Chains A and B, each alone.
Chain A
Amino acid sequence: MDIKKQKTGDHVRDLISAFMDGELPVRQAAAVRRHLDECPACRKEYEALTSVDHLLRGVPAVSPSADFSRNFWKKVNAVETRRSRGLMGLMGILGSWRPVLAAASALVIVVAGSVFLYHSGSDNNDPVMPGIAENMTFYGDYEIVQNLELFENWEEIASLDGI
């Protein structure tokens, strides 16, 4: 609160609560104290609020009941059991799906392997037949592949009429 203002007779009601709690800066607290000495209305307010604090502080504290600790540990056990059951349940679900997961894993491996093999051949300079030299076994069923030796004399064959 502005001390100059206080001298003109303003009240300090808004500051009384913080004053009671020792939360005002030293100079402001001193100004409020002076005002309380001079102003019956503010002093009455201060005394009423102080009485509220006294009343509240007079209400006795409660002690933990005898079974507070036991009940707490029961709750801890219940939560931990539920958590471990949840984990076991998850493991069980994973277990019952084992054949499906195994098949899916195998499929992933095959697809990944094929992609890898396909891309490893892409370093080849021939953009039309990438990696064919490395993958001859995959094409073994085709007749042309089985008779590649016939192409050894390709130039002679090509020179013949009709080709």
Chain B
Amino acid sequence: MTGERMDADAALMLQFKEGHEEAFLKLFAKYQAPIINFCFRFCSERTLAEDLAQEVFLRVYRGRGRYRVEARFSTWLYRIAVNVCLNETRKLRKNYGTYSLDQPANDDPDSRVPEFPDENQVLVDDAMVSHQRDERIHRALQTLPDPQRIALVLRIYDEFPYDEIASRMNVSEGKVKTLIFRGRRRLREALEGVL
């Protein structure tokens, strides 16, 4: 980042590299929710997503000595997240048993639909419909090849432009354009009936 103004998060990371642990705590607090959500949208399992996110931050924590400001901090962080999702998901998923797209993707108690009293049956129905729709969307996302899913998640949820997605995924912008285009079309087919 020579000649450019260093972003505040990169400066925090450099402080952490010099031994200031409170700088890491600030980065951890700022990015934990976005990284958990990125992982969750990638794998559709809450517990696994948190494990993946912890692995991302663990790599940041342990890699502080090798950190160099070559891009924005968030670009570096998401590049780690992309690598962790691509390489660790299968390994970590073994800890949770077999995952099937025919099963509900999310068995986490925190994300179950709450039980309402009978007089709120309408709300229950609405919640059920909404929950089922979300499950279907998660399952549809899981049918995409990993790179298509990552590119789409970075575009639609994190709203990064193509050039930043390319940096985070370490691919060309043209490749990102193709991944997102194909991903959208595939999702359109997978979500036929919900649209």
**Which of A's residues lie within 8 Å of B, judged by CB?**
14, 17-18, 21, 23, 48-49, 51-53, 55-65, 68-69, 71-72, 75-76, 79
Contacts and interface: CB of A to CB of B under 8 A. Distances in A.
Given A64-B50, A65-B50, A68-B36, A17 B177 contact: yes
Contacts of A17: 177, 180-181, 184-185
B191 A52 contact: yes
A17 B180 CA distance: 7
Best-buried of A23, A49, A51, A55 by chain B (most CB within 10 Å): A55
Contacts of A63: 33
B181 A59 contact: no
B181 A52 contact: no
Given A23-B162, A75-B54, A56 B137 contact: yes
In the A-B complex, the 6 residue pairs with the smallest Cβ-Cβ separation, listed nearest first, are A17-B181, A72-B54, A51-B195, A61-B37, A59-B134, A52-B187
Interface of A is mostly: helix
A18 B175 CA distance: 12
Contact of B184 (A52, A72, A75): A52
A56 B138 CA distance: 9
A118 to B, nearest CB: 45
Given A18-B177, A64-B33, A57 B157 contact: yes
Interface stretch (B57-65, B81-89, B114-122): B57-65
Best-buried of B49, B53, B195 by chain A (most CB within 10 Å): B195
Contacts of A58: 133-134, 137
19 contacts: A14-B181, A17-B180, A17-B185, A23-B162, A23-B177, A48-B195, A53-B184, A55-B195, A57-B157, A59-B138, A61-B37, A62-B36, A62-B110, A62-B111, A63-B33, A64-B32, A64-B50, A68-B53, A72-B28
Nearest to B58: A75
B46 interface: yes
B188 interface: yes
Contacts of A48: 188, 195
Contacts of A61: 33, 37, 157
A65 B156 CA distance: 24
